[in-house]
Amino acid sequence: MDFEKVAKYSALHPKPAGLTLQYGTAGFRSKAEHLDHIMYRMGLLAVLRSKKTKSTIGVMVTASHNPEEDNGVKLVDPLGEMLISAWEEYATCLTNAEEQEIQNILTEICQKEAVNLHQDASIFIGRDTRPSSEKLSQSVIDGVSSLGGQYHDYGLVTTPQLHYMVCCQNTQEHYGKATVEGYYQKLSKAFGELTKQASSCGDDQRSLKIDCANGIGALKLKEMERYLPKKLLIHVYNDGIKEKLNHLCGADFVKVYQKPPLGLEIKPNERCCSFDGDADRIVYYYNDTAGHFHLLDGDKIATLISTFIKELLTKIGKTLEMAVVQTAYANGSSTRYLEETMKVPVHCTKTGVKHLHHKAQEFDIGVYFEANGHGTVLFSKAAEEKIRQLAKEEKDNQKREAAKMLENIIDLINQTVGDAISDMLVIEAILALKGLTVQQWDAIYEDLPNRQLKVKVADRRVIDTTAAETRAVTPPGLQEKIDELVKKYRLSRAFVRPSGTEDVVRVYAEADTQVSAETICPYSSCIV
């Protein structure tokens, strides 16, 4: 390692005195002006991770749903998954080190992980549309270069596009071509094939309004449009030309406040959806004729997709084990519907797609979605092979057609991480194939009324949780108070947890009526 070069560049990316940050739910997030040294150091760490795994590693500069003034960075592991947790600790340690400690920490990581320093390193870099992102990604490049790593700067891409390209590169393009164009071609082809199968159901042209949170999603959807079959008419809103990223719009805003985004006028019963700032989350919604807003969140998406897959599995007559993975935010009605009506096993993990992803990998088919719209479907290698073989060789027409649909779902869904564009295409295809309106989809089950709040506290780390974040273990007495409170309301539950992406505590409550949920929620936040 050329420590002199590392030290020389490091001095150009100084750490603000007294600042400590943690690798949180999805990497580091903070005000953009705090992040320069972190970007440089994540460039360094990505090189070591690349040498260790002998693979290309991704570095994405984004703070996704956070306000425009924030920024962040997350590292992407070889198959497009989030960075493994042991290395999250190295990331935190390196980030919080004083300048003179950097050399020792890098050496320690190399020793512990037996990193071969002679191994080549390759890093893929991407960024979102925040004004601060370009400069910060340059700092990542400085980090990569000062340790002699090679890099490919993809510039403006959605987070899931970068995950996809890392996976393509490390699977010798078995997963697809490691270019943005390759991504458009793969998804559009699978979508075209799937919806071709829908045309026999007599479906006409479908149109969808998409709120892009004034972020990267708008840019990428516009690029992708020319690849997509004309049967899907997409109308992009909040494209970032005039307004600020995530301001009163986007998937997070719509989910938390349960109202439509600014900048998108909804006609009664019109199907609309919102992406978040880096296009890895999606939620759907519509207004009914009485003007009431209806949200179809990650739980409704998981139900739609898993119902569809289960029907196809029944048709092909193969026993493949499918499960749904959720978090504590999943609406109680969705869990009940999946378990009791659909007879699909449901598992609950901590918040953060990294946790859901790992759990979903345990099944032949793992459908995972956070209620906030972040999720995807994973097919095990064995399941994928079986499906592809049936799609090619099965003699029975009906079975073969069902297997082909599953094969196209495999190609359409971005299995590396939740992806708003890919999820949107899967949902649109399923709705077309099943001939479902958004209202019919919504009516599959009725959500329990719920409320979510963000609460500012002096130090959110005083709250520690257990049981997949459904119970608080500290501060003492907090959980007992919540238990006492929820006892008073029917079908109610509530929990609090510190956010891993924003400096807030999140409070969630649900109950049999909206009034009860609203009463519990502000009350829970008072306790905090």
Annotated binding site for Mg(2+): 64, 276, 278, 280
Query: Pick from 435, 451, 444, 436: which is nearest to 492 by CA?
Result: 451
Please report, to the nearest 10 degrees, the dihedral formed by the alpha carbons of residues 424, 425, 428, 429 taken in order: -150
Region binding ligand G16 by CB under 6 A among candidate stretches 86-94, 122-130, 366-374, 458-466: 366-374
- Residue among 279 and 344 whose Cβ is closer to ligand G16: 279
The greatest distance separating any two alpha carbons of the chain, rounded to the nearest whole angstrom, comes to: 69
**Shortest CB 276 distance to ligand G16, Å:** 5
Does residue 350 interact with ligand G16 by CB under 6 A?
A: no
- How far apart are alpha carbons 274 and 247 in whole angstroms? 13
Please report, as residue ranges, which positions from 44 to 73 form the binding site for ligand G16 (by CB under 6 A): 64-65
CB atoms within 10 A of CB 10: 22
**Shortest CB 72 distance to ligand G16, Å:** 8
**Residue from 169, 349, 372, 376 in contact with ligand G16 (CB under 6 A):** 372
Total number of residues that touch ligand G16 (CB under 6 A): 18
- How far apart are alpha carbons 331 and 323 in whole angstroms? 17
**Shortest CB 502 distance to ligand G16, Å:** 5
**Shortest CB 506 distance to ligand G16, Å:** 5
CB atoms within 10 A of CB 289: 7
Q: Sketch the per residue contact string, 24 through 43, with ligand G16: x for CB under 6 A, - otherwise.
A: -xx-----------------
**Shortest CB 144 distance to ligand G16, Å:** 22
Does residue 370 interact with ligand G16 by CB under 6 A?
A: yes
Region binding ligand G16 by CB under 6 A among candidate stretches 106-114, 224-232, 346-354, 481-489: 346-354
Query: Pick from 246, 218, 250: which is nearest to 234 by CA?
Result: 218
Region binding ligand G16 by CB under 6 A among candidate stretches 11-19, 190-198, 219-227, 496-504: 496-504
- How far apart are alpha carbons 496 and 499 in whole angstroms? 9
- How far apart are alpha carbons 76 and 222 in whole angstroms? 25
**Shortest CB 376 distance to ligand G16, Å:** 12
| H/E element, 298 | helix 298-316
- Cβ atoms 197, 401 nearer than 8 A: yes
Residue type for 392, please?
Answer: K
Catalytic pick from 10, 30, 55, 64? 64
| H/E element, 71 | strand 70-76
Q: Which residues are annotated as a binding site?
A: 64, 276, 278, 280, 370-372, 497-501, 506
**Residue from 353, 365, 424, 482 in contact with ligand G16 (CB under 6 A):** 353
- Cβ atoms 224, 184 nearer than 8 A: yes
**Residue from 92, 179, 197, 499 in contact with ligand G16 (CB under 6 A):** 499
Region binding ligand G16 by CB under 6 A among candidate stretches 234-242, 290-298, 301-309, 497-505: 497-505
In whole angstroms, how far apart are CA 364 and each of 299, 310, 382, 435? 20, 12, 7, 27
**Is 64 considered catalytic here?**
yes
Q: Which residues are annotated as a binding site for substrate?
A: 370-372, 497-501, 506
**Residue from 71, 502, 511, 517 in contact with ligand G16 (CB under 6 A):** 502
- Cβ atoms 494, 509 nearer than 8 A: yes
**Residue from 56, 450, 501, 519 in contact with ligand G16 (CB under 6 A):** 501
Q: Residue 82's Cα: distance from chain center in Å?
A: 10
**Residue from 49, 186, 281, 404 in contact with ligand G16 (CB under 6 A):** 281
**Shortest CB 354 distance to ligand G16, Å:** 8
Angle at 15 between CA 44 and CA 97, to 5 degrees: 65
Region of residue 507 (left: phi > 0; alpha: psi -120 to 50; beta: else): beta
What is the number of residues in the chain? Answer: 528
- Residue among 191 and 253 whose Cβ is closer to ligand G16: 253
Please report, as residue ranges, which positions from 232 to 251 form the binding site for ligand G16 (by CB under 6 A): none
Does residue 274 interact with ligand G16 by CB under 6 A?
A: no
Scan for tokens 């997509």, then name that residue.
228
**Shortest CB 218 distance to ligand G16, Å:** 16
Does residue 276 interact with ligand G16 by CB under 6 A?
A: yes
Backbone angles phi, psi at 62, to 5 degrees: -165, 155
- Cβ atoms 89, 155 nearer than 8 A: no
Does residue 419 interact with ligand G16 by CB under 6 A?
A: no
Region binding ligand G16 by CB under 6 A among candidate stretches 337-345, 369-377, 430-438, 443-451: 369-377
- How far apart are alpha carbons 130 and 32 in whole angstroms? 9
Region binding ligand G16 by CB under 6 A among candidate stretches 178-186, 349-357, 395-403, 428-436: 349-357
- How far apart are alpha carbons 234 and 348 in whole angstroms? 34
Which residues are annotated as catalytic? Answer: 64
Query: Interface with ligand G16 by CB under 6 A: which residues?
Result: 25-26, 64-65, 276, 280-281, 351-353, 370, 372, 374, 499-502, 506
